[in-house]
Amino acid sequence: MELQLSSGSTLLSRCSMVNEVCMNDTKTSRGGGRDRIFQAAAEVIYEKGLAEAQTRMVTDRAKVGTGLLNHYFKWPELRAAAWELIFQAVVRDLWRSQETPRDALDRFLEEAFAAEARLFWKLWLEAERLAPGDKPIAEALGRIRAQMRDRLTALLQEGMTNEDWSLPDPAATAVRLEAMRDGLAGMILSDDPDLDASLAVHHLKHFFDMETVGAKQT
């Protein structure tokens, strides 16, 4: 099962797009209790977050009994899988079909801290907080982090092939870009008085520029 983001969507519309697709997929899968439960769990976690989501919310949304949910799933595994489903769509949206590496990177940098992305950052940071004591969440987070890093690395490598930029180690740059972006997002979500979204974008762009400058000097 996949959440599909339309090719014309932007990060700014990702929240509404994921919600709309959740609803559409649920309507088309009403015949299967397992699929209904899984899709309902994704909807609930998308709306409520990992910590607030409860099995009763999922069974009410799926219109099934608790016994059926327990027949198909264990709650920790279902919660982690539903979170992973949401972020699989985010990974795919990082570099869209027919999008040049330059355009994809520009969008990645420009939209990283958009107001509409806050929901996804909250879900991401919530998973990071829960991971040390929650093995299913930790495993899902690890898989998504690896997929996102691989996709960003591939984007950076393709940009080098196109001579859009030069980097000594695209994989290492991808790791550092992720670390910078995650740190800045955490500061924004904690309402750091010295940082807003536009300044965070500036810092992220400056960081990438320094990566390319460093490559020219080596």
List, for residues 67-95, the tens digit of each pLDDT value: 999 999 999 999 999 999 999 999 999 99
C-alpha to C-alpha distance for 152 and 147, rounded to whole angstroms:
9
- pLDDT exceeds 90 at position 11: no
Handedness of CA 197, 203, 207, 208 (dihedral sign): positive
Output the pLDDT for position 22.
46
Kindly report the pTM of this predicted structure: 0.81
- pLDDT exceeds 70 at position 1: no
- pLDDT exceeds 50 at position 26: no
Per-residue model confidence as pLDDT tens digits over 139-178: 999 999 999 999 999 999 999 999 999 999 999 999 999 9
Mean pLDDT, rounded, for 176-196: 94
- pLDDT exceeds 70 at position 104: yes
CB distance 176 to 107 below 8 Å:
no
Higher local confidence (pLDDT), 90 or 213: 90
Domain boundaries, the chain: 11-217
- pLDDT exceeds 90 at position 191: yes
- pLDDT exceeds 60 at position 51: yes
DSSP per-residue letters across 62-105: HT--HHHHHHH--HHHHHHHHHHHHHHHHHHHHS-TT--HHHHH
- pLDDT exceeds 80 at position 189: yes
Domain 11-217, classified CATH 3.30.70.100, yes or no: no
Output the pLDDT for position 213.
66
